[in-house]
Amino acid sequence: MIVIKKSCQSDPSGRRLESTLRDLGLRPHVVPGHDLIVLECTANERLLGTLRGCCDFEQVKIVPANYALCSRQYQAGDTVVNVRGVRVGGGYLAVIAGPCSIESEARLAEVGRRVRAAGANILRGGAFKPRSCPYSFQGLGTDGLKILRSVGEELGMPTVTEVMDPRQVELVARCADLVQVGARNMQNFDLLKEVGRAGKPALLKRGMGATVKDLLTSAEYVLAHGNPHVILCERGVRSFEDSTRNMLDLAAVPNVQGLSHLPIIVDPSHATGRPDLIPAMALAAVAARADGIHIEVHQDPASALSDGPQALLPEQFEDLMQEVFLLADVLDRFIDPCPDTSA
């Protein structure tokens, strides 16, 4: 794939360039909000020569197919996403914690206080839940969103929650500081486009059957539709190993960081589905220089309305965070505190 800067001194509108490209039999794709034209083609020497000839400047670049805007070739420096004051990427770690589902204001506030005190800087909680079974608890919906916003404001914690339906993106983006697209919707392209237009940072989880490049290609949808503030999340993929819920592909962290400037965090809760394995995998993620961790915490896992068995207890999370801080310190990584409540 080849990317071309659209405008130049001799062709400020870029129109002449576009028609030249069409004359060459190419299908130029102008990326909205970017001064860019993307050509889906196999980059070859001859075409490059021709393009440099008709563009008369340095702005013709070869970038990886399918994830041009996400690529390190397009942007060399790390993207640092700012989630209402909490930085993620470029050495700053997100510590996202909270229950799988929002069950009540009291329960969410209690867990929120505990995880905030232990060092978490973003509060998670599901309002719209993608449940495999249609008869399972599907989340509190709009009421859940209100609870999340209210608890987040009270605690001065930025919040994240999942959106599943393109018709709900606007609503979710109004209530949360970080809009999550879950693993099951990683290739729900209409949803990704809406999230691209949402005006809030996005958290994009890897699909359970998706490769690292599939993940970047899905992120490209969000960037190409106007939203450069994307955090990726490795959460395990399907494998033949049957003693864990999924297989955590931790190598995806340095792998993505080599290919892309976007931050990538790790969710050991969904990756393993087992509280006895979560702390070791969270520490491993920090040591592998992931840009954050995402941990489910519940004060009473046995009574949780969804995914209880994989949640840590608040006290287990506190123990984990002590070691997380030790490792972050020795590896020169920084965890932003929550912004002040009064802010």
Per CB under 8 A, which of residues 118..137 are in contact with a copy of itself? Answer: 130-136
What gap in Å lies between CA 127 and CA 182, rounded to an integer?
Answer: 13
- Cβ atoms < 10 Å from Cβ of 153: 11
Site for a copy of itself in 18-37 (CB under 8 A): 29
What is the closest distance, in whole angstroms, from the C-beta atom of residue 243 to a copy of itself in the complex? 6
In the complex, what is the shortest distance from the CB of residue 27 to a copy of itself, in angstroms, rounded to a whole number? 8
Binding to a copy of itself by residue 2, rule CB under 8 A?
no
Q: Which CB, 85 or 226, lies closer to a copy of itself? A: 226
Report in angstroms how near the CB of residue 341 gets to a copy of itself at its nearest: 32
Please provide the size of the chain in residues: 343
Position 250 contacts a copy of itself (CB under 8 A):
yes
Residue in 108, 277, 304, 335 binding a copy of itself, rule: CB under 8 A: 277
CA 134, 230, 213 angle in degrees (round to 5)? 80
DSSP 3-state of 190: helix
- Measured CA to CA in angstroms, residue 307 lies from 136, 197, 198, 272, 283 at distances of 11, 31, 28, 12, 22
Which range of residues in 7-15, 84-92, 103-111, 325-333 is near a copy of itself by CB under 8 A? 325-333
* Separation of alpha carbons 64 and 2, rounded Å: 8
CB of 119 to a copy of itself, least distance (A): 17
Residues 196-225 that bind a copy of itself (CB under 8 A): 207-214, 217-218, 220-221, 224-225
Closer residue to a copy of itself, CB minimum distance, 109 or 171: 171
Match 């905030």 to its residue by tokens: 116
Q: How far is the CB of 257 from a copy of itself (least distance, A)?
A: 8
Helix (H, G, I), strand (E, B) or coil at 273: coil
Which among 10-18, 148-156, 269-277, 334-342 is the span making contact with a copy of itself, rule CB under 8 A? 269-277
What is the rounded CA–CA span in Å between residue 186 and residue 188? 6
DSSP output for 98-111:
E-SB---HHHHHHH
Q: Does 7 bind a copy of itself (CB under 8 A)?
A: no
Q: Which of 310, 276, 300, 321 is nearest to 115 (CA)?
A: 321
Q: Please, which of residues 71-110 interact with a copy of itself by CB under 8 A?
A: none
237 binds a copy of itself (CB under 8 A): yes
Give, as ranges, the residues between 43 and 72 that touch a copy of itself (CB under 8 A). Answer: 65-66, 68
Choices 15-23, 93-101, 154-162, 324-332; region in contact with a copy of itself by CB under 8 A: 324-332
Provide CB contacts within 8 A for 280, sequence distance 6+: none
Q: Where are the beta strands (DSSP E) in the chain?
A: 2-5, 28-31, 36-39, 60-62, 81-83, 86-88, 94-98, 122-124, 159-162, 178-181, 202-205, 230-234, 264-266, 292-296
- Contact status: 141 vs a copy of itself (CB under 8 A): no
- The verdict on 286 binding a copy of itself (CB under 8 A) reads yes
* Near a copy of itself by CB under 8 A: residue from 11, 105, 110, 165: 165
